[in-house]
């Protein structure tokens, strides 16, 4: 069932970017699952580059903390599709949090 204007469910999944499952980042596993299930509106971390610097001691702790920043993945889909995907999302999310909200979407007509 394709998403159309009207009632929908917004799903937000909160993870740590350091969370891994079988050596693969959890967010990658979830995004791959969503894309394989035709949830093309799924998006996750964007525009994040990684680099390492070796600062003086007081700043080192701040950079170590920043290695495990939160990641948010969001999708908006029909209730039926979310209900079908939810068991696998729960399994893949592990220690993260899944938030769901009823919403209304407007998809403009294509010209």
CA gap 37, 67 in Å, rounded = 30
Per-residue pLDDT of the chain (111 residues; tens, 9 = 90+): 677 889 999 999 998 878 887 788 888 889 889 989 988 667 666 534 333 334 445 554 554 555 567 888 999 999 999 999 999 999 999 888 999 999 999 988 887
Q: How many Cα atoms sit within 13 Å of 52 on the Cβ side?
A: 2
Cα→Cα distances 53→12, 18, 38, 46, 47, Å: 32, 18, 39, 21, 19
Burial class (CB in 10 A: 0-12, 13-18, 19+), 108: exposed
pTM of this prediction exceeds 0.75 = no
């Amino acid at each position: 069932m394709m998403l159309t204007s009207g009632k929908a469910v917004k799903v937000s999944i909160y993870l740590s970017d350091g969370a891994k499952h079988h050596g693969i980042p959890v967010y990658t596993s979830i995004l791959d699952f969503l894309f394989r299930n035709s949830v093309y509106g799924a998006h996750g971390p964007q525009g994040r580059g990684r680099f390492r610097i070796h600062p003086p001691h007081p700043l080192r702790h701040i950079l170590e903390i920043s290695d495990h920043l939160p990641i948010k993945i969001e999708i908006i889909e029909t209730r039926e599709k979310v209900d079908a995907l939810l068991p696998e999302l729960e399994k893949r999310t592990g220690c993260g949090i899944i938030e769901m909200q009823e919403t209304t979407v407007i998809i403009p007509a294509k010209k």
